[in-house]
Structure 1
Amino acid sequence: MKIAFILFDGVTFLDFVGFYDVITRLKYYESTKEFSWDICALQEEVTDELGMTIKVNQVKPDLTQYGLIFIPGGLGTRALRFDESFTAWIKEAQQAAYIVSVCTGSLLLGAAGYLTNKNATTHPYAYDLLEPYCKEVIRSRIVRDGNVITAGGVATSIDLGLYIIGFFLEEHEVKSIKKQMDYPYEMESIAIY
């Protein structure tokens, strides 16, 4: 499976890195060693809300080639949800097996139409912003509605990553990754529809 990590100016890098750190550990397992990923954006460099800048390795790739897309949140989502070129680009991923966001990345999924008639969640301070885009805002840490999976605030990115790798690895392998990360916490509140 090919994964697209979709970034933008104004992203919260911890939203991205928490999930990225978990997901990229799939390369160490025989059953998932063929997984690959790209860090994608509409430009070569992306700057977070505090001024940190990173380079991406794919500028506006064709998102139809990815089986999973992941969109983190950040203050940049507030304006970006009205950017028609950005939402048109992420709409290309309609055939992806998994459409995933954490924090206010769900606002971007909503603006692209992925949350229509779906239950979803976001950062607790942004529930009201998410309401127009989905059937119902669920006040839960992770919400799965079909192939769309949304998660709550920043630190939830690690829980979300562990949840997603559970689709591809055995339970003992997921536990091993948690141990490697020194992440002793149990996942809370997953709603599946």
Structure 2
Amino acid sequence: MTHHFGILCFPAVQQLDLTGPYEVFASARDAKVHLVWKDLEPVRASTGLWLQPDMRFADAPDFDVLCVPGGAGVNALLTDDETLTFVRDKAAKARFVTSVCTGSLVLGRAGLLEGRRATTHWNAHDFLEGFGAMPVKERVVRDGSLITAGGVTSGIDFGLAVVAELLGREEAETIQLSLEYAPEPPFGSGLPETASPSVLAAAKARMSGSRREREALLSATSAKG
């Protein structure tokens, strides 16, 4: 039986949020992975890489796994009724509804995090409560059919966890070995708790523009609601 994965592929997506799980999903047996967007025009990721959607919203089947990656482009999606409607519709029929990084904020705006345990990038974690979620500071968080991942590189861990749920641990471990996924980062600055104050300040400054825009959007939509 073929398992169908649908990954949202939108302008200014964080490419590793998308390509990390894509690599894992596409390596699984009996898997078909679709990059889904409103049209089939190439989109440019937040760091400049061009990506090619291969399926339009209008043509998308129901998916076993619906995945929403994050990135600066998430901000535009928070007020994009067409995308939010698509996510709600496909989530209602998917076996697993998932996100990587700030993709969870899109799930939240679609009303899919209410009363659910969830995670996201550390620099957006404080937004989760506003969607009625129960924030959890873990790399991959599962709450029933909802699976959310932390920031960017956690998408690989997340992808393996999803494959294990669908196809079993041995298949996930086989993919892990095939990809030689045995991370040994050269520095211990991967989390706010382990980074130096100067590195943490620099990272926050680098992401401040997108965060300010996100804060304004969510504040405005909350006021309207």
State the TM-score, normalizing by the size of structure 1.
0.86
| 1:158-177 equivalence runs, <5 A | 158-177=156-175
Which residue of 69, 75, 80 corresponds with 1:72?
69
CA distance in 1, matches of 2:169, 2:183: 15
Residue equivalent to 2:6: 4
Would the aligned equivalents of 1:46 and 1:56 in 2 still touch at CA under 8 Å?
yes
Q: Could you tell me how far apart the structure 1 residues matched to 2:132 and 2:10 are?
A: 22
Is 1:108 aligned with 2:110? no
1:26 to 23, 28, 32: 28
CA deviation after TM superposition for structure 1 residue 129, in Å: 2.2
Distance 2:169 2:87 in 1: 31
Deviation at 1:63, TM superposition (A): 4.9
Q: Which residue pairs with 1:55 in the alignment?
A: 52
Q: Note the C-alpha offset of 1:25.
A: 1.1
Asked if 1:40 is matched to 2:36, the reply is yes
CA distance in 1, matches of 2:128, 2:47: 24
Which residue matches 1:87? 84
Contact 2:28/2:163 (CA < 8 Å) preserved in 1? Answer: yes
Of 13-22 and 55-64, deviating more is 55-64
For each residue in 1:58-92, what CA deviation from the matched residue of structure 2 results, as whole angstroms up to 9, or x when unmatched? 11135562121011100111231121121011111
Residue 48 of structure 1 and its aligned partner are, at CA, apart by: 1.0
Structure 2 regions of 5+ residues with no counterpart? Answer: 185-225
Counterpart CA distance in 1 for 2:62 and 2:170 is: 30
User: In the alignment, is the contact (CA less than 8 A) between 2:15 and 2:47 conserved in 1?
Assistant: no
| Higher strand residue share | 1
CA shift in 2, pair 1:128/1:179, >3 Å: same
Larger RCO: 1 or 2 (CA < 8 Å, sep 6+) = 1
Assess, with a 3 A threshold, how the Cα gap between structure 1 residues 63 and 145 changes in structure 2: closer, same or farther: farther
Structure 1 runs not aligned, ≥5 long = 28-32, 187-193
DSSP 3-state at the match of 1:92 = helix
Q: Kindly tell me: are residues 132 and 62 of structure 1, through their superposed partners in 2, closer, same or farther at Cα, counting changes over 3 Å?
A: farther
- State the alpha-carbon separation in 2 of the partners of residues 64 and 55 from structure 1: 18
Letter in 2 for 1:40: V
SS in 2 for 1:144: strand
RMSD: 1.7
Residue in structure 1 matched with residue 123 of structure 2 by the alignment: 125
- Greater gyration radius: 2
Q: Sequence identity, in percent?
A: 32
Offset of residue 37 of structure 1? 2.4
Q: Considering fraction of residues, name the structure with more helix.
A: 2
